[in-house]
Each structure stands twice: as C-alpha cells, then as structure tokens.
Structure 1
C-alpha cells in the first residue's frame, strides 16, 4: 500500500510540475495577443482551472517535502511528546483529507449530474475543475499515510516547518 501511495504521489508531483511548465505558454500567448489587440477568450479560464489543479495536487509534494504548514507550539513546549503530537497531526490531516474527498466528490458529482457549466463563452463543464478537490484529497490522504509509515524510522531525515 505504501509503494502505491508513493507512486501516486510521484505521479501527482509530475503532473504539478508539468502544469507549472504548461501554464507559462498560454499566459505568454495571451500577453502577446493582447498587446496586438486580439485578446483570447480561453486563456484566463483554462489557466485558472489549471492553477486549481496545481494547488490541490501540489499538496502531495508539500506533505512529502515537509513544507505543508504545521503548528508546532505544543510540540515545542513539550518535546518529549513530539512523536505523539506528530501522530495526532497526521491523523488530523487524514480526517481532513477524508472530508475533502467526500465533500469534493459530492460537489463534482452534483455539477456533473446537473450539467453545470461555467458562465463564460467556453461553457466548460464545472465538474472538471471541481474534480481537482477530491483528487487532491486522495493525494493528501495517501501521502500522509506514507508520512505516518515513515515517522517511526530513525534512518530517514526529519523535515519540519515551523
């Protein structure tokens, strides 16, 4: 299960990196076209939705690298209980990920079943950008499982953000 979670985390990370690289192309195109007086109708909306996916899928990399935000006040005050506080934090993230998965899935499912589209000329089905929410939740859940499985090993470097 951990190997599958790590694989999914790598896939989400590569997708995030590809989106970062991809986003520069339409934004540069829009800037050039706008300077010649020919603004596009598609760049803003597609790049906005790509940023949404980038944000939710980027959670995997943040958890993996230890850059995901954490409040360490209690762990700093009581260092002998740091491991217990870390586990509590990880299980809280798992609970939050389940909440994101379930509510985001309902959100996307509702838009899909009611044929909700964007209010722009493109009329993009809204379930597509909304699908980033449960997908990001799955990535967050799986990467947190990896972090929990590795938290007991001393041979791995401990990453922490204060």
Structure 2
C-alpha cells in the first residue's frame, strides 16, 4: 500500500512539474500570435485548466515536502505536545481529504450528468477541469497517510513564518 501511495504522489508531482514547464509554451504562442493580430480562442482557457490541475495535483508534493502551512501556536508553546499535535493534524488532514474527494467526485458527476460546458467558444466539458479536485484530494490523502503510517515529518514543517 505505501509503495503505491508513494508512487502515486510522485506521479502527481511529476505531472504538476510538467504542467508548470509546459504552461510557458501556449502563453508565449499567444503573445506572439497577438503581436501579429491573430489572437487565439483556446490559450487562456486551456492554460487556466492546466493551472487548476497543477495546483490540486501539487498537494502531493506539498505534503511530501511538508510545505503545507501549519498553525503551530500550541506545539510551540508546549514542545512536549508536538508529536500529539502532528498526529492530530494528520488525522484532520485525512478527514479533510476525504471531504474533498467525496465532494469533488460529486461535483464531477453533477457536471457530467447535466452536460455542463464552459461558456466559451471551446465549450469544454467542465467535468474535465473539475476532475482536478478529487484527484488532488486523493494525492493529499495518500501522502498524508504515508506520513502518518511512517512517522515522516521533516523539521521544516515546525518552523514558524517569520523566524
């Protein structure tokens, strides 16, 4: 189970990085096309959807590197309680991820069932970008589960912003 969860997290991370790298191509193309008086109808919408996927799939990387923000007031005030609060935070994150997954899949199902498309010339079925929500939730859930089971929490996660 853990190797599969790690693999899925790494795959989501790779996809996020690839999307980030590839986003510059259509944006550059659009800039050049506009300078020649031939703007496109597809660049803004497709790059927006790619950015949505990048953000949600990036959840896996944020958990792997402990880049998610944390409120550390109580653990900082009572250092002996840090392990307890770390575990509590992970359980809360798992529950939140389940909520994201369930509501995200409902959102996707609703858009498929009602054949909702974007209000642009492309008329992209909106279930496609909405799919980023439950997939991001799955990445968040799996990587948090890996952390919870293995006890892997980097020291950087405990730093306070501004220190």
Please tell me the TM-score bracket, short chain as reference: over 0.9
The corresponding residue for 2:37 is 37
Deviation at 1:158, TM superposition (A): 3.2
Which segments of 5 or more consecutive residues in structure 1 lack a partner in the other structure?
A: none
Which segments of 5 or more consecutive residues in structure 2 lack a partner in the other structure?
A: none
Would you say the 8 A contact 2:13–2:61 is kept in 1?
A: yes
The corresponding residue for 1:158 is 155
Matches within 5 A, 1:1-150: 1-150=1-150
> How many angstroms apart in 1 are the aligned matches of 2:61 and 2:149?
17
Question: TM-score scaled to structure 1, two decimals?
Answer: 0.95
> How many angstroms apart in 1 are the aligned matches of 2:123 and 2:53?
18
> How many angstroms apart in 2 are the aligned matches of 1:121 and 1:66?
40
Q: Could you report, residue by residue, the CA deviation over 1:77-118 in whole angstroms, capped at 9, with x for unpaired residues?
A: 111010000000001100110000000100010001111100
Question: TM-score scaled to structure 2, two decimals?
Answer: 0.94
Moved over 4 A (4+): none
Equivalent residue pairs, number = 159
